[in-house]
Structure 1
Amino acid sequence: MEEKKAGEKFPEYDKSDTVLSPKEQLLSAQKRSSNFKEQVIKSMAMFFVVAACILFYFALLRLSEISYAVKSFLSVAKPIIYGLAIAYLLNPIVKVIDSKLVPFFEKKCPKMKRKETFSRGVGILVSLVLLVAVIVALLNMMIPQLYTSIRDMIVNVPSQMNRFVKAFNEMHSSDSTVGKILENVMKEATTFIQNWMRTDLMDKVNEWMTQLTAGVILMVREILNFIIGMIVSIYVLFSKEKFMCQAKKLVYAIFRPTKANLILHVGSKSNEIFGGFIIGKIIDSAIIGVLCFIGLSILNIPYTLLVSVIVGVTNVIPFFGPYIGAIPSALLIFLADPVKGVYFVIFIILLQQFDGNILGPKILGNSTGLSAFWVVFSILIAGGLFGIPGMLLGVPTFAVIYYIISMVVNRKLRKKQLPTDTDSYDEQGYVQADGSYVHMEENILKEKGDEPYADSSTK
């Protein structure tokens, strides 16, 4: 072996010539596999994003067909939807009866088999009887009163028109500027009414007669759907625990435990918001209807029962409901007696102030957690998109969305070690470039030697 000459450099170390140990080879293979998996996941994510964009684009092009398909499905599934809604409304009554009957049977009849099934059957029967009784009572109150109101309007309106014409003639007899203006207005109105009666009225009558048959058929179909829905609700209430377990099982099977627990938490919170709002609003509206009936009876207002039912039913709609019910009721009373129509408007304003400031907060509390602005916002948007159902369910739906957004935002803030209290982000609060939260007022107090949140016992 030849010796190295002086000053000769050793050859560079070639890493490729080294032999890795089995453990190092395994780690290297795992690293390459991990990098390959990351690349595959990124590629798949990009593919799904592009595919979702393409599908969304084609969905927009076929929006009318999709809308028709959704409406057709909802029309077919109406009995199921009615059944789920009825079961959701009757579930609190069933739960109360179960909580009373099951302990009673365990104490009085310990050898009785299937106590829970018998108690559930009694609860469902009682709740359905109450539902049917309420519907029949409302129809018995509204239909005779509605018939009487229409009959009185037919009798009273001509006499009121005669009084108006008589007053107009007396005013016109005095040759004044007001009389001439009223004469011109009356001529224009008479010409318009005559033209309308000759052209549009007959077409409208024919259209109404055509729609009347379709309306009767539609009403019979809706009644049948409602009856089938009541049958569906019986099965749902009997098996609600099993359905809940199946849904929970499905969520845990599809999602990871953290995601599944989050979904179940949101579902539980949604049920709490919807249940508290809907049940509380029904109780609040029933009380308002009773108070309206008592007040109108004392004031001797005409159509007391009909108006009280209208005010109570429309009060279920938040914010705008009282006005929706009060406006046609006020017009109806005003046609019968203008002075009492004014009394009714004043009474309704006082009643709604009582409901909005005292009764409503006591019953509903803060079930939605929304401010007045977001309540109006949700009603306008949901009502514009989905009509009356949107006005009824828009507030709790938006409350759930608001809760989810708040939960996500607070979670992000906690990760960044920032305060979650909204009041902390006023004009004095800001976040520095290093990510730390600073409040100007607190800094000033610290410089003076005061602790803003210190306990008085430690000073």
Structure 2
Amino acid sequence: MLQKKSIRTLITFILIFILVYLIYLSRFIFQPVGAYLAAIAVPIIGSGIIYYITSPIVNWLSRKKVPRFIGTMIVFLLIIAVITLVVLFIAPIVQRQFSNFVDSVPKMVKSAQDLFELWQQNQNIIPPQFESALQNVLDNISGYAEKITTGIISAIGQIFSFVFSIVLIPFFLYFMLMDGYKLVPFVSRFLTPKKADSFKTLTANINHTLSSFIQGQFFVSLCVGIMLYIGYVIIKLDYSLSLALFGLVMNFIPFIGPFLSAIPAIIVGFFQEPMMAVWATVVMVIAQQIESNLISPNIMGRALSIHPLTVITLILAAGGIAGFLGLLFIIPAYAVVKTIISHFYQEWKERQPEKDPDLL
């Protein structure tokens, strides 16, 4: 029996490999589909994220007998209010801090060169290779700073190139909030009762996985951003709001996000005052300890059930393949794929004889 099962399993994997290879050979057929999906990716992903954040409000209002249309309009009014507050109060401060930071880059470069020269004068023995390498970095640091600034400006330009796609997000979001709950019953009408039940279970599990990640990560990152801002204001760190917002965004990347957000805060604090870098590190450590030990367990719990080593591996792979966007979306994508595979594997096990339920 074991031998027959192993042979069946081997044949299954071979057939899957052949299917994947045939799809690869005929990939030109899917190019129009890929172009279409790329064109609508921004509004679908953007509206999907906002949908999972705001849908609990609409669902709660529906349970309170509030018409779904009115609940959707209330959500849109709340979104408009948040955007208005950001534009009126937060955006001007961030813009001013960013301009001041760009203006202070030459001073930071000069301070780094002076610090190196002072250290060089007080050292009797410096390895020639280390000295030449460090001197080369200092000679080109101005160019590096200019490239970084140019890259930031270029990224801002690319963001504005998505304006048309972003304009479509409210329309996608409106129909998701109004009619999203109708999709599963509509598709189930074309399936047999048994397959319809399986489809409803699968979509419910996927919906739970995505909502757990997006809602949890949003609220956790928001809490971290607020804690960082309060801490930076207390220690009087320059560009506190901009650095806190950067920490908020980076916290969407599991594990490595907090470390990435700490780098600019420590650098800015060091050039402001060397001791300030220590205080910025203390603020970051305190915020992350509160987040990992108090906030995340209560908000997110273990909804995704993904081992930390798996998360690190996925992040490393996604960063190398798809860059920053890969870092943001690899965890929910993996969780969805894992949910789908687990669902069909469980159904497959239920169809097997009681004495022989395992795959191998």
Instruction: Report the TM-score range of the alignment, normalised by the length of the smaller protein.
Output: 0.7 to 0.9
| Range moving further from structure 2, 272-281 or 125-134 | 125-134
Deviation at 1:232, TM superposition (A): 3.0
Deviation at 1:286, TM superposition (A): 1.0
Deviation at 1:227, TM superposition (A): 1.7
Deviation at 1:58, TM superposition (A): 5.1
Specify whether residues 62 and 190 from structure 1 end up closer, same or farther in structure 2 by C-alpha distance, changes over 3 A only: farther
Does the 8 Å CA contact 2:52/2:214 hold for their aligned counterparts? Answer: no
Specify whether residues 225 and 330 from structure 1 end up closer, same or farther in structure 2 by C-alpha distance, changes over 3 A only: same
Q: Name which of 225, 236, 248 aligns with 2:185.
A: 248
| Range moving further from structure 2, 390-399 or 285-294 | 390-399
Name the structure with the higher helix share.
2
Q: Name which of 75, 100, 109 aligns with 1:157.
A: 109
Instruction: Name the aligned partner's letter for residue 273 of structure 1.
Output: T
Specify whether residues 101 and 136 from structure 1 end up closer, same or farther in structure 2 by C-alpha distance, changes over 3 A only: farther
1:373 maps to 2:336 = no
Partner residue in 2 for 1:286 = 222
Deviation at 1:163, TM superposition (A): 4.6
1:267 maps to 2:203 = yes
Specify whether residues 264 and 388 from structure 1 end up closer, same or farther in structure 2 by C-alpha distance, changes over 3 A only: farther
Deviation at 1:187, TM superposition (A): 5.7
Which has the greater radius of gyration?
1
Deviation at 1:57, TM superposition (A): 4.1
For residues 398 and 217 of structure 1, the distance between their equivalents in structure 2, rounded to whole angstroms, comes to 31
> How far does the alpha carbon of each residue in 1:326-372 deviate from its partner, in whole angstroms, 9 at most, with x for none?
12322232232222112222332232122112221011112212232
Partner residue in 2 for 1:326 = 262
1:350 maps to 2:286 = yes
1:122 maps to 2:42 = no
Deviation at 1:305, TM superposition (A): 1.8
Q: TM-score, normalised by structure 1?
A: 0.62
Give the 5 Å matches for 1:402-417.
402-410=338-346
Give the 5 Å matches for 1:128-143.
128-131=80-83, 133-134=85-86, 138-143=90-95
Instruction: Name the aligned partner's letter for residue 189 of structure 2.
Output: Y
Specify whether residues 92 and 301 from structure 1 end up closer, same or farther in structure 2 by C-alpha distance, changes over 3 A only: same
Instruction: Name the aligned partner's letter for residue 76 of structure 1.
Output: A
Q: Name which of 47, 54, 58 aligns with 1:90.
A: 54
Structure scoring higher RCO (CA < 8 A, sep ≥ 6) equals: 2
Instruction: Name the aligned partner's letter for residue 103 of structure 2.
Output: R
Does the 8 Å CA contact 1:284/1:359 hold for their aligned counterparts? Answer: yes
> How far does the alpha carbon of each residue in 1:70-100 deviate from its partner, in whole angstroms, 9 at most, with x for none?
5532342245423444334332233344445
Give the 5 Å matches for 1:161-200.
161-169=113-121, 171=122, 176=124, 178=125, 181=126, 186=131
> How far does the alpha carbon of each residue in 1:178-224 deviate from its partner, in whole angstroms, 9 at most, with x for none?
1xx37775566556776x69xx969x98xx98x99976763332122
Does the 8 Å CA contact 1:138/1:309 hold for their aligned counterparts? Answer: no
Deviation at 1:282, TM superposition (A): 0.8
Does the 8 Å CA contact 1:153/1:336 hold for their aligned counterparts? Answer: no
1:230 maps to 2:166 = no
> How far does the alpha carbon of each residue in 1:120-161 deviate from its partner, in whole angstroms, 9 at most, with x for none?
333333334335544765533432222222223333432453
Alpha-carbon RMSD = 4.0
Give the 5 Å matches for 1:425-440.
none
Deviation at 1:270, TM superposition (A): 0.9
**Can you give the 5+ residue segments of structure 1 that lack an aligned partner in the other structure?**
1-48, 103-114, 419-433, 438-459
Does the 8 Å CA contact 2:250/2:257 hold for their aligned counterparts? Answer: yes
Q: Name which of 76, 95, 111 aligns with 2:39.
A: 76
Specify whether residues 134 and 274 from structure 1 end up closer, same or farther in structure 2 by C-alpha distance, changes over 3 A only: farther
Q: Name which of 131, 147, 151 aligns with 2:99.
A: 147
Deviation at 1:233, TM superposition (A): 1.9
For residues 231 and 259 of structure 1, the distance between their equivalents in structure 2, rounded to whole angstroms, comes to 32
Does the 8 Å CA contact 1:94/1:127 hold for their aligned counterparts? Answer: no
Q: Name which of 265, 276, 279 aligns with 1:340.
A: 276
Does the 8 Å CA contact 1:94/1:124 hold for their aligned counterparts? Answer: no
Does the 8 Å CA contact 1:153/1:335 hold for their aligned counterparts? Answer: no
Specify whether residues 346 and 413 from structure 1 end up closer, same or farther in structure 2 by C-alpha distance, changes over 3 A only: same
Instruction: Name the aligned partner's letter for residue 37 of structure 2.
Output: L
1:221 maps to 2:161 = yes
For residues 298 and 144 of structure 1, the distance between their equivalents in structure 2, rounded to whole angstroms, comes to 20
For residues 402 and 59 of structure 1, the distance between their equivalents in structure 2, rounded to whole angstroms, comes to 22
Instruction: Name the aligned partner's letter for residue 129 of structure 1.
Output: A
